[in-house]
Amino acid sequence: GQQVMQIPQYQHVQEGEDFTTYCNSSTTLSNIQWYKQRPGGHPVFLIQLVKSGEVKKQKRLTFQFGEAKKNSSLHITATQTTDVGTYFCAGANHAGGTSYGKLTFGQGTILTVHP
Partner 1 sequence: SAVISQKPSRDICQRGTSLTIQCQVDSQVTMMFWYRQQPGQSLTLIATANQGSEATYESGFVIDKFPISRPNLTFSTLTVSNLSPEDSSIYLCSVSFRLRANTEAFFGQGTRLTVV
Among 44, 55, 68, 78, which residue interacts with partner 1 (rule: CB under 8 A)? 44
Q: To the nearest whole angstrom, how small is the minimum distance from the Cβ of residue 79 to partner 1?
A: 21
Among 14, 42, 59, 96, which residue interacts with partner 1 (rule: CB under 8 A)? 42
The alpha carbon of residue 1 and the mean position of all alpha carbons in its chain are separated, in whole angstroms, by: 20
104, 47 Cβ separation under 8 angstroms: no
Q: Does 39 bind partner 1 (CB under 8 A)?
A: no
Q: In the complex, which residues of this chain contact partner 1 (CB under 8 A)?
A: 1, 30-31, 33, 35, 41-45, 48, 50, 88, 90, 92, 94, 100-108
